Amino acid sequence: MTSETLWYANRATGAVCLVLFTVVVLLGIAVRLRGKVPGLPRFGTVSLHRTLSLSATAFLALHIAFAVVDSYVDITVLDVLVPFASDYQPLWLGLGTVALDLMLAVLITSLLRERIGHRAWRAVHWLAYVSWPVALVHGIGIGTDTGTDWMTWLTVSCVAAVIAAFGIRVAHSARAARRTPAALLRTAEGVRS
């Protein structure tokens, strides 16, 4: 593969990762809200979330491999695993490394979910909400397509979708928190009578 081919492959897999991880976050929020994708039963939404998570991770592995193999820029395996260690764009590449490390923690604990328990898995799974914006900033800072019309629209669309879904998630949690004390009070009053 030529350096130019690797460069195009790296750019393409980075954009695909943005879309796939955005959909994964949206599906994760839908699963948490007990939502479902039209045409799928609820367990289908969970299955789709897991499948797309693994697909996104595969594209991320390709994105990283293309960056390391490409000789135009010197990115080593150490740079991929240790944040801010690279000589090339240390801040932007370091943010990508942080996002990768967080995502690896989510992936590994998801694979070990039955062994580590739901509470530990859930605590680590929250890192996905941190990993996505860190990866987004990495792409904006280091991406060679940043500023092009197509990438701007893609990024804005992904951000808008995640913000909207996160807003729905927060609103749902706030409604549930307001209902919980009232429901407990009604239950306690029913027990007393």
Instruction: Note the pLDDT tens digit of each residue in 124-166.
Output: 999 998 999 999 999 999 998 999 999 999 999 999 999 999 9
Of the chain, the percentage scoring pLDDT greater than 90 comes to 68
For the four alpha carbons of 61, 62, 63 and 66, in that order, the dihedral sign comes to: positive
Per-residue pLDDT at 191 exceeds 60: no
Q: Domain containing 69: what range?
A: 3-192
Q: Indicate yes or no: pTM above 0.95.
A: no
The Cα–Cα gap between 155 and 136 comes to 8
Q: Which residues contact 45 (CB under 8 A, 6 or more apart)?
A: 27, 30, 31, 35, 36, 37
- Confidence at residue 37, expressed as pLDDT on a 0 to 100 scale: 77
The answer on pLDDT for 65 being more than 80 is yes
Q: What pLDDT, on the 0 to 100 scale, is given for residue 182? A: 59
Work out the average pLDDT over 92-116.
94
User: What residues have CB less than 8 Å from 41, skipping those under 6 apart?
Assistant: none
- Tally of domains in the chain: 1
* Average predicted confidence (pLDDT) for the chain: 89
Residue 34 CA to residue 43 CA, distance in Å, equals 10
